Amino acid sequence: MVQTPGSPSIVDEWRCLDRARGGDETSWRFLFRLHYQPLVRMAFCITGSMDAAHDMAQESFVRLLRVNIPHREGSFKAYLSTIAYRLALKERKRESARQSLESADVVDGGPSPVDEAIRDQTERVIFRVMQSLPVEQREIIALRFFGGHSYEEIARIAGVPIGTVKSRIFTAVRNCREKLRHEGVFP
């Protein structure tokens, strides 16, 4: 792994967090740059809102600083992603409840946050196909492909057996492949 002089290594992320908590801005910036965008992508896939995704990623870091971590057995990334994952699930539930109480907003015809966030047409199609998946599959796919987690980490984060994780990923990929073929994106 290539490092810049003075930058912490990936294996030292827990120690980097300790230094960040002690006021070391370099360590804090390193952790933030390394993990922020993957957290945003994962939260966006779950919530469907880029604004909410940024909020969830930022709140994950805030909570990371506030919480007393009882153990450091797993990876730092998995711990931080678990925080973001749970926040995104709560946000989706809260937003769903809010929308059921309010009437739908009038669409102004301008570019949506999704269009602004995903400019390339192929990526828009892929995102639309992923959003069409059942929630359980979409969450697992977000953790795997946007969060970069192993099956074991996903099972722990989502609180489901590893066999369920494998099944949901297999089914989601198969469903995406079929829909992308239909859209002309996947051969």
CA atoms of 51 and 70, how far apart (whole Å): 31
* Shared-domain flag, residues 96 and 119: no
Percent above pLDDT 90 for the chain: 22
CA atoms of 179 and 105, how far apart (whole Å): 29
Which range of residues forms the domain containing residue 180? 114-187
Q: Check which CATH number belongs to the domain holding 132 and give it.
A: 1.10.10.10
In this model, does residue 83 exceed pLDDT 70?
A: yes
Among 53, 69, 101, which residue terminates a domain? 101
3-state helix, strand, coil in the chain (%, to 5): 75, 0, 25
The verdict on residue 83 lying in a domain is yes
Q: What is the pLDDT of residues 103-141, one digit of tens each?
A: 444 455 566 665 555 455 667 777 788 888 898 888 888
From 31, 142, 140, select the one nearest 76 (Cα to Cα). 31
Sign of CA dihedral 173, 177, 178, 183: positive
What is the torsion angle, in degrees rounded to the nearest 10, for the CA atoms of residue 174, residue 176, residue 181 and residue 183? 160
* Shared-domain flag, residues 94 and 144: no
Sign of CA dihedral 94, 96, 100, 106: positive
- Determine contact, residues 71/13, Cβ cutoff 8 Å: no
* Shared-domain flag, residues 36 and 57: yes
The verdict on residue 4 lying in a domain is no
What pTM, to 2 d.p., does this model score? 0.60
